[in-house]
Amino acid sequence: MKINCLIIDDEPLAINVIKNYLEPLENFEVVNTFSNPIEGLNFVKNNKVDVIFLDINMPVLDGINFIKSLEDPPLLIITSAYSQFAIETYELDVLDFLVKPIEFPRLMKALNKISKRLENKSNPTPDNSAENPFIFIKIDKKRMKKIFLNEILVIESLKDYLKISTLTGKYIIHSTLSDFTDLLPERNFLRIHRSYTVAIDKIDAVEGNSVEIEGLRYVIGRSYMDHVKQKILNSAN
């Protein structure tokens, strides 16, 4: 399956970095690049695009407003030198945030996320509540969203809100981590930090005081360490 990629950045050098990384990869095809975000927006509206690599700081139309202007956005990978935009863009359901200068290994982690997301979209989990338990979350004043428990990766505390990362999307809800964790089956989910609850079966590696999930590392809190390691060891038996 060819994955159609679009690169939008007002810096030609930044475009070339990503383009050169992608060119040798047979599953990814750069269908176009734009230094003018308005031209890029017109292209998206009239062509099939699977993923956009999008800068934030651009003249005329910045990356945040670019995303908000899309009715049915493709997958979005933010490329920016300003990491302070990360939380704001995740609330817009971006798949990943790459901080410039972008190294190839870090880009590969993002590409793996893209492939997995599109594969899950092509082969969705059957809507069978007996085999696939789910919960509903309130994502805005009028909309409730069904989330299958076996798709949840990480729940992260953002003060009075939570970011729920799943195999198919990211969602911001108003809740405490303790209250939400209590809704989840204890055999499947594990509180590892005052800011993180994770799906045990999604942990790819444990190293030192952190766990790795989908290429990202999450710190294990000191007071949680013994319980976390015991729970992970028990789940392996």
Q: Is the pLDDT of residue 226 over 90?
A: no
Q: Is the pLDDT of residue 218 over 90?
A: yes
- What's the CA gap between 93 and 109, in Å, rounded? 17
Q: Is the pLDDT of residue 54 over 60?
A: yes
Q: Is the pLDDT of residue 222 over 50?
A: yes
Give Cα 221 distance to the centre of its chain: 23
What lies within 8 Å, CB to CB, of 149 at 6+ separation is 132, 133, 134, 135, 184, 185, 188
Least confident of 16-30, 95-109, 125-139, 219-233: 125-139
Residue range 57-63: average pLDDT? 90
Q: Is the pLDDT of residue 180 over 70?
A: yes
The predicted pLDDT at position 42 comes to 94
Structural domains in the chain plus CATH codes: 3-122 (3.40.50.2300), 134-236 (2.40.50.1020)
The predicted pLDDT at position 129 comes to 47
Supply angle C-alpha 101, 103, 107, rounded to 5.
110
From residue 141, alpha-carbon distances to 97, 145, 173, 203 in Å are 27, 12, 10, 33
The predicted pLDDT at position 118 comes to 85
Of 152, 161, 163, nearest to 198 by C-alpha is: 152
The predicted pLDDT at position 15 comes to 96
pLDDT in tens, 124-171: 555 554 567 888 888 777 778 888 999 999 999 998 899 999 998 899
> CA dihedral in degrees (19, 23, 25, 26; nearest 10)?
130
**One-letter identity of residue 84:** Q
Which is higher by pLDDT, 123 or 101?
Answer: 101
**In the predicted model, what is the mean pLDDT of the chain?**
88
Q: Is the pLDDT of residue 7 over 90?
A: yes
- What's the CA gap between 125 and 132, in Å, rounded? 8
> How much is the pTM?
0.57
HSE (side-chain half, CA atoms, 13 Å) at 228: 26
pLDDT in tens, 63-90: 999 999 988 889 999 999 988 777 777 6
Of 138, 121, 219, nearest to 172 by C-alpha is: 138
Percent of the chain with pLDDT over 90: 51
Please list the residues that pair with 169 across neighbouring strands.
none
Q: Is the pLDDT of residue 183 over 60?
A: yes
Other Cβ atoms within 10 Å of 5 Cβ, number: 25
Residue range 4-9: average pLDDT? 97
